[in-house]
Structure 1
Amino acid sequence: MLWWWSRTGRVLVLSGVGVAGVVAGVVGWGGFNTVLEATNSTAFCISCHEMRSTVYEEYRRSVHYANASGVRAACADCHVPRDWTHKLLRKVQATNELYHWLVGTIDTPEKFEAKRHELARHEWDRMRATDSRECRNCHSFEAMDFHKQNAKAATTMAAAAKAGKTCIDCHKGIAHNFPDVTAGHRRAFADQRERAKGFVPTPGSTVYPLTSLALLERPEGAGPIGEVSVSTPLRVLTVEGGFARVELTGWHRDGSPETLYRLPGKRIPLAKLTDAGAAGPEALRVVTDPDSGQPWTEARITAWTRTGAFSADRAVLWEHAARIADANCTLCHTLHSADAYTANQWIGTINAMKRLTPLDDEEVRLLQIYLQTGAKDAAASR
């Protein structure tokens, strides 16, 4: 009898422990998920002033906050996955954001604006990596009625669907202010320009202009005979005061000696000459471009130009151009490598795209030459 009671007691105790464990697990799991979901609320997101006084106010002015259909997308709808696995991973990643909140990385408007582009890039990259998963919770190509869109939107969306583009490739800055994507590379280039002021080239060296420079017949008191393009290799012959006599070699098409290009048949600009300047180059040899059948003449010209805007290493310019491409070209699509097109194809591509960027003429010129120089039919001679 005692044996039966002792056995029954053990069963009851073990059953009680099991039930208590299940209850504790359910309560614990429920509590964990309750807390997890609480961190998805907009109220939680704007509980720190860094969010409340910046991106939240921008979001309140967007179509995702107020629109004709009355459907509102909250913070978590765009920034947190819905499925549990990816949601948990995203929450783990977000602990890094808590760390930066604790140390005050962006606790002033000035700090936030300085990092706005970097922060936006992180989110754009995340969305692109997931094929804009959170956008597709509400939007999909399959659900779109292109006949109800305006002609431009319908054409663009249909082309994007066919090309396999993802939402974030084209839709950036729709809920928050757009970052100044030029700030980083312009700041770096300004530092490089400042350092170049103290650089004095030596005769026999090769230098590269940091910007377009006037070519002169003599050091002082003469008008320009042309303009040399950014990044053009110049061999220094002599240096006098703030001027350098330089030599450059390029190619011009038959009958058009006023424009020198880097390679025959490939319109990578080196220099643009005036009528007087075009009479000066020394012809070296003539070749026929196999693609067009046109004769091209290799020519050499010497001229003077001001110092103070040279780099001894063209890699500095290529690094700057790569930053321009990465910051600006990715506003609308993934970054194309330079060898995606031929040197001449890049001209039309850049001309079509430059109006969509905040780049100035010199930045566009450097970007084009950088991409052309690395093009699939020119990269071997880079």
Structure 2
Amino acid sequence: MTAAGVVALVLLLAIAAYACAGGTDYGAGFWDLTAGGAERGKRPRWLIDHAMAPVWEVNNVWLIFVLVIMWTGFPVFFRTVFVAMWLPLALAIVGIVLRGAGFALRKPARRLAGRRLYGAVFAIASLLTPFFLGAAVGGIASGRVSPGTAASVANWANPTSLLFGLLAIAMTAFLGAVFLAGDARRFGAPDLDGHFRRRALFALAAVAVLTVVMLFVTHGDAPHVWHGLTHGVGLALVVLAAVAALATGWSLLGTAEARWSRSSAVVAVAAGVFAWGLAQRPYLVPVSLTVADGAGATTTLRWLMLVTVVAVVLVFPAVAYLYWLDTHGALEPLTDADLRSSAGDDA
């Protein structure tokens, strides 16, 4: 495999990591938006706050890694995408900023009106951000952009883009509900476990329906990607995603703790992302920009591979350990009772 091919694979890995890690957070925001009024949604929102607090910032590490690889490793691809898709990408970036601000400010806000405002900003941005990112990906997959393409609404407001955007929302909702159900079990809240299990199954059904519709639409609107998804390694990954999704649904329907549901849900989403990425081979933008043509200088690609190795050794284990600590309840915030107990011990 060439240096450009290796870096392209690293880029796809980073996108899959962001889709799974960041997607889980976006999904939590989706369920925050649909939790209901102040009284009915109080407990689900309490769980969302406690589940997201330790890791919501670190998930953007994957997005930064994606942007750095695109910018340095594939400058032609970076320029093409950000010129032709600047509006949806700008809206997604604004959504990321507003989402973070809303989540950070809604809990310490003293007034109820302020908490509701910041909560609404967090929840709405959690819905719109994955949609615009998915719409941009759909525009790329359908081949509507190429080097020199001017910005246009048609680049991202088309059947494939709209379906990719809706599928991104459904996938994040699915991941968010699965992980929140696991957190509910960890917190000993069986009612919230059932609450989010049902929503995970609903989101899984939405993902299945949108995936079938997408295959029909891409047949005529994105033929190169459709062919890649229905043949060879792309088809194998689609089958893997379907099997992992069915395993997740079976686990959620069971009466046991469904301890493997998180892993199978991540496999389902990651396999779906890889299916799309490999279906585009050998193109970064079907069918106008190949991986080789969009790659930067060979020296730059080699440095990127070295940086990736350093990140694998130093950064990724730390991030993985943080996720492990969070999912095993080792990062719980101190309560008033803990602080009073500590004060009494010191005395």
Whether the TM-score (by the shorter chain) exceeds 0.5 is no
Higher helix share: 2
TM norm structure 1: 0.24
Of the two, which has the highest radius of gyration?
Answer: 1
RCO higher in structure (CA 8 A, sep ≥6): 2
Greater strand percent: which structure? 1
